[in-house]
Each structure stands twice: as structure tokens, then as C-alpha cells.
Structure 1
Amino acid sequence: MEKTSSALWKWLETLYVTKSLANCLVLKQRLFMFRMNEG
């Protein structure tokens, strides 16, 4: 599991790279709603 939000973002980009603005916004929304487990 990625440790930082920037690393997670780069990982998501490699999985879902698109040039569509809508897809980019969906990825950003998923990133901002992502919660890491404590521990």
C-alpha cells in the first residue's frame, strides 16, 4: 500500500491514464475521499 497521497495519485494515474477531463475529475474525487487505516 502506498504511504503518501502523491505516491497513491501516481499509482492511480498509471492505472487509469486518460486525457478526458471527466475521468481526471473522478480520479481526484476518489483520491480526496480515500481514507487510510490507522495503525
Structure 2
Amino acid sequence: MASGIRQIGIGVLFSSGWHHFLYSVIIFVKFAILTTDFPIGH
């Protein structure tokens, strides 16, 4: 799943530019924090 997220991030970076890429990273970080606060079995 991590590799898929990286591929999406790279695709967004090349197609939309840094602002959209950074926005995606921020969303991913917030999601990671949520999953840390509410652990889900892998």
C-alpha cells in the first residue's frame, strides 16, 4: 500500500505541481495520525 501511495504522490507531483503534492502529503499525514490514534489491525 505504501508503494501505491508513493506512485500516486509522484503522479500528482508531475501532473499538478508541488502545491497539490504537498496537499496530498498533508492529507496522508493526517490519515496516519488518525490510524495511530485509532489502531487498525494490518
Report TM bin, short chain: 0.3 to 0.5
The normalised TM-score by structure 2 is 0.43
Computing the radius of gyration from Cα coordinates, the structure with the larger value is 2
The normalised TM-score by structure 1 is 0.45
Larger % of helix: which?
2
Higher relative contact order (CA 8 A, sep 6+): 1
